[in-house]
Structure 1
Amino acid sequence: MLAADGVDVVGTQTFIEAMRQRGAIVEVLAPRAGGMLSGGSGGELPVDRAITTMSSVLYDAVVIPCGPDAVKALSEDGYVMHFVTEAYKHLKAVGAFGAGVKLLPKAGITEKTAESTDAFVSNGVITTKAAADDLSDDFAEAFAKVLAKHRVWERQTDSVPA
């Protein structure tokens, strides 16, 4: 998960727990290592690693959580944008919820996205407009199904620069 100060702590923790219950190992990558990120509506989220010390090739997927301030900060970080674009290029599952969906087109991901709070899947890109307490287990379930395939082989990425 890619996060920054202003992240949707409730939605992010809900998703992390749902994925851990499914056996996934989830790490929070942020602009700085260690410590805590402040939530947009309060609370804190622990950081596992600095994104600048990691590469998307080391992960099976990437998720961009909600939090308008966090999404703005992430979308202005070239390393983050490369990370997301590279994960997409390498046919990995890409997820985003709430305001996190707005980062996808900035990373060159032009798949159709959710128009409601229901989970929506398009070529291995899983999105929902839901966030915080409204984020349902359906999003995690849809994400887990795509992740279980290991790659989205039908995705066309010849023109993706990463």
Structure 2
Amino acid sequence: MAEGAFHSYEERIDAKKIRGRSESFSDHFSQPALFYRSLADWEKSHVANAYAFELGKCNHDPIKERMLWLIAQIDQDLAKKVAEDLGMSVPSSIEKPINQAIGADAKVKEHQPGKKKNYLDKSPALSQANTKFESIAARKIAVLVADGFRMKDYENVQKLEKEGATLVLIAPHGGTVTCDQNMKHSVGAAIATTESVLFDAVYIPGGSKSIKALQKEAKFTKFLNEAFKHCKAIIADNEGEDLIDGTYIQHHKEDQAVLINEKVAVIKKTIAQHRNWKRMEIAEMVPA
């Protein structure tokens, strides 16, 4: 205070202590509505799918109806999409009061939410679509290999480790695998013990012997299909493309995040983008 900080004038007062809230506490819908309006189409799809997934596990229709009504106050189209997935319709009204989280001495009507207000049409900052991804630091890349994989291909991608990425060898078994230069490499995980969701991208080096071994393990196909479904980067060199040709990816090699025999600079830039969300519509049809 001696340095000029704010300080209230001290005076004796006689008042009644109450528990009160600003009127803005009752505005339940304006902020989520702004958030939803600001999202890219693929993000809106994620939100609708998330609502449908969680509510789909609820066995009580009154709860689902109440939630659908609340979602409709945020966005009518969003509520309709969720309702369609639930096999229900959006109710026109629900049991009142809407807000029951009020103080014991508060008036119920004064704390009920009104209609959403549009203070701002959109905020670019609320959408991941406007986020710039430039670094691959901490990105985890699954490298699918078996004995005989081409070391020259692998060495090229190993350059990404200098940028902070982590390469993990995924093989048909644990222990070690031997490359075509007769060097042993430690396996990060056997294919039976891991899943694509743990990685940000997938790389397949060439080597006929290696690829033939991978083709015999069905889970490598599942691993690639799931990574593609989740819009991740898929990279392959030389015979590594043959493994891709046994997956759903073979029909979508023109995808901007499916790279065949590309330069490491292009690989780095693609992985840095994190996901190719333009793939969403195609990805939803992948049987994985």
| TM-score range for the pair, normalised by the shorter chain length | 0.7 to 0.9
Is residue 237–residue 260 contact of structure 2 (8 Å, CA) maintained in 1?
yes
SS at 1:106 equivalent: coil
Larger Rg: 2
Q: 2:165: which partner in 1?
A: 24
What is the distance in 1 between the residues matched to 2:166 and 2:155? Answer: 13
SS at 2:260 equivalent: strand
Deviation (angstroms), 1:102: 1.2
Deviation (angstroms), 1:47: 1.4
Deviation (angstroms), 1:41: 4.3
1:38 aligns with 2:178: yes
Deviation (angstroms), 1:124: 0.5
Q: 1:62: which partner in 2?
A: 202
Give % identity.
33
Aligned CA-pair RMSD: 1.6
Which of the pair has the greater relative contact order for Cα pairs under 8 Å at 6+ separation?
A: 1
Q: 2:253: which partner in 1?
A: 112
Q: 1:127: which partner in 2?
A: 260
Is residue 156–residue 264 contact of structure 2 (8 Å, CA) maintained in 1?
no
User: What stretches of structure 1 of length at least 5 have no aligned partner?
Assistant: 114-121, 129-137
1:151 aligns with 2:275: yes
Is residue 200–residue 232 contact of structure 2 (8 Å, CA) maintained in 1?
yes
Q: 1:14: which partner in 2?
A: 156
TM-score (norm 1): 0.82
For this pair of structures, how many residues does the alignment match?
143
User: What stretches of structure 2 of length at least 5 have no aligned partner?
Assistant: 1-142
* 1:107/1:26 CA distance change after superposition, 3 Å: same
What is the distance in 1 between the residues matched to 2:253 and 2:220? Answer: 21
TM-score (norm 2): 0.47
| Letter matched to residue 161 of structure 1 | P
Higher helix share: 2
